[in-house]
């Protein structure tokens, strides 16, 4: 009897494994391959308009998202379930520096430094101020509208970041080489949108265009983004004033 039960168990396990393999195969066939995007970031040498543009070695943190244009009245898909995105405060910086999320997502802001931090955003996108909070604690923000939220800390002027909230599930962010992979994009026509922190609004608008995705076209022609030569990360505090410089703690040596 035990031998028969063992054989039956083996047969059941084998049937289950075979069913799982078939389901995975069908699922992989139903999911379209990712759309590949190549981004080129170029800048004018020396900031002169007459100088020839040169390609940057680092093309990271360029955000690209695709919005279906076939039915403008269609409601965007709900944000996927899963762990909440995080932007950690660590070593007096935000990590990652640029995040892209679908509208409706909650983002956690854990403080992983051994001292107080603050997170505020008073520009476009989502406006909020999380106040001061201590090491080891975390706060959450609901990004419920599309737009770009520039993040700063009212204590540390060197800290800055950006959250790009988009009304579509089809988005990606470039790596250093400018590569972006956007998953699960169905065939169809899309408006390609671009955002880059170091670019001007007109240049980003010019980089966008309508693209067609199909089985035969899963790769988009390179996207060229022009860098603003006058970009600066400097900013005011949340009161619109200059940051108070830290006290000078260097030792004072008297004259002999």
State which of 29-38, 158-167, 230-239 shows the largest mean pLDDT.
Answer: 158-167
Q: Encode burial over 223-242: b for 16+ CB neighbours within 10 A, e otherwise.
A: bbbbbbeeeeeeeebeeeee
State the average pLDDT for the chain. Answer: 84
Q: What is the pLDDT of residue 12?
A: 45
Please give the average per-residue pLDDT across 61-70, as a whole number: 95
Residues with Cβ within 8 Å of residue 84, at least 6 apart in sequence: 105, 106, 107, 108, 140
Omega before residue 96 within 30° of 0, cis: yes
Of 31-45, 220-234, 237-251, minimum mean pLDDT range: 237-251
Please give the average per-residue pLDDT across 15-37, as a whole number: 60
| CATH number for the domain whose boundaries are 31-70+84-227 | 2.60.40.420
**Contact predicate 143/101, CB 8 Å:** yes
Q: Is the pLDDT of residue 186 over 90?
A: yes
Q: DSSP class of residue 134? A: -
pLDDT band for position 244 (50/70/90)? confident
């Amino acid at each position: 009897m035990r031998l028969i039960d063992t054989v039956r168990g083996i047969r059941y396990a084998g049937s289950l494994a075979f069913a799982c393999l078939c389901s995975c195969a069908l699922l992989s066939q139903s999911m379209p391959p990712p759309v590949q995007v190549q981004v080129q970031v170029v800048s004018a040498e020396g900031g002169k308009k007459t100088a020839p543009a040169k390609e940057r070695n680092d093309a990271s943190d360029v955000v690209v998202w695709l919005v279906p244009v076939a039915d403008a009245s269609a409601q965007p898909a709900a944000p996927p379930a899963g762990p909440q995105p995080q932007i950690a405060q660590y070593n007096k910086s935000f990590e990652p520096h640029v995040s892209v999320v679908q509208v409706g997502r909650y983002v956690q802001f854990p403080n992983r430094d051994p001292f107080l931090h603050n997170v505020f955003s008073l520009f476009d996108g989502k406006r909020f101020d999380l106040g001061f909070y201590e090491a080891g604690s975390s706060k959450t923000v609901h990004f419920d509208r599309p737009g770009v939220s520039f993040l700063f800390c009212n204590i540390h002027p060197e800290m800055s970041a950006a959250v790009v909230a988009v009304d579509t599930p089809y988005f990606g962010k470039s790596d250093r080489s400018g590569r972006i992979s956007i998953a699960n994009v169905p065939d169809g026509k899309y408006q390609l949108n671009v955002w880059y922190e170091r670019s001007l609004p007109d240049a980003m608008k010019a980089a966008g265009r309508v693209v067609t995705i199909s089985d035969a076209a899963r790769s988009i022609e390179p996207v060229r983004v022009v860098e603003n030569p006058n970009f600066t990360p400097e900013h005011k505090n949340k009161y619109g004033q200059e940051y108070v410089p830290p006290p000078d703690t260097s030792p004072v040596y008297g004259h002999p």
